[in-house]
Amino acid sequence: MATTDSDTTTTDDTVLSMENVTAGYGNTTVLHDVNVAIEDGQIACLIGPNGSGKSTLMKSIYGFADVKAGSVHFRGQEITGRSPQANLKNGISYVLQDASVFPNTSVHENTLMGGYVFEDDEKAAQRAEVLYDEFPILGDIRQQDAGTLSGGQRRLLELARALMVDPDVMLLDEPSIGLEPRFIDDVFERIEQLNDLGTTILLVEQNAEKGLSVADRGFVLASGEIKFTGTGTELLNDEQVGRLYLGG
């Protein structure tokens, strides 16, 4: 089994961690005693069956779910229960599984909305230009209504919007869902590029092989519990993980 003690223990390089977190919604408990530690500069990938609590794990980091016990830390600071807006200001950005764009609003206006925590419009406009250099396709169609974009273009817009704050850490919940294979490869390339530029990434991915293959660290969640942790490669090669969660 791929789990070792060091996988879930925080170190000096830990940027984001959950310690003994039990969380859910109101009276419903979804996560049970979850421990996760992600180091600076890593891509971490969370896999697990539908309904196992992957999105809830992200939501309990970000303040969208109720943490009932345990704690969440970001760069050594406790952030348990902080609001999404405070987390965004603090350098954590989140692309929800059901992220959406404003369809009757231009690509540019949608991009700018990602910087709503900036008090300075000029700063937001400058940041958008930097992102259009990185995502030329979005720059080209900036005046177009977002509702006219293809699925792949829309996903890039969602990513760009989340990058407006130049986050330290990005939480990406199923960024490849519903996309054609050629767009999936594009999104994964973007994720790896962002990571190369220093952004730490926590990814939820239903294509477990693909997700683990780009991940420095992997976590398997089932029934709200972390069942396996290890490097991406360790999990890909683990006999039990393969049989139970990779369809192999």
Sites of contact with ligand ATP (CB under 6 A): 25, 28, 30, 48, 50-56, 97
In the chain, what is the straight-line distance between the N-terminal and C-terminal CA atoms, in Å? 16
Which of the listed partners (Mg ion, ligand ATP, none) does 25 bind, with a CB threshold of 5 to 8 Å by partner kind? ligand ATP
- Nearer to Mg ion among residue 29 and residue 97 (C-beta): 97
Shortest approach of Mg ion to residue 55 CB, angstroms? Answer: 3
Q: Is the dihedral of CA 78, 84, 90, 93 positive or negative?
A: positive
Sorted by sequence, the CB contacts under 8 Å of residue 151 that are 6+ apart come out as 178, 179, 180, 183
Residue closer to ligand ATP by CB (options 54, 217) is 54
53 binds, among Mg ion, ligand ATP, none (CB under 5 to 8 A by kind): ligand ATP
Q: What is the smallest separation between the CB atom of 95 and ligand ATP, expressed in angstroms?
A: 13
Pair type for strands 43-47 and 200-204: parallel
> Are 64 and 23 contacting, i.e. CB atoms less than 8 angstroms apart?
no
Q: What is the enclosing helix (H) or strand (E) of 17?
A: strand 14-25
State the binding string over 94-113 for Mg ion (x if CB under 5 A, else -). ---x----------------
Angstrom distance (rounded) from CA 33 to CA 81: 16
Binding region for Mg ion (CB under 5 A) out of 2-10, 49-57, 188-196, 226-234: 49-57
- Of 28 and 126, which CB lies nearer to ligand ATP in the complex structure? 28
Q: Which residues are CB-neighbours of 124 under 8 A, at least 6 positions away?
A: 112, 115, 118, 164
Nearest residue (CB) to ligand ATP, 51 versus 248: 51
Residues contributing to the site for Mg ion (CB under 5 A) = 54-55, 97
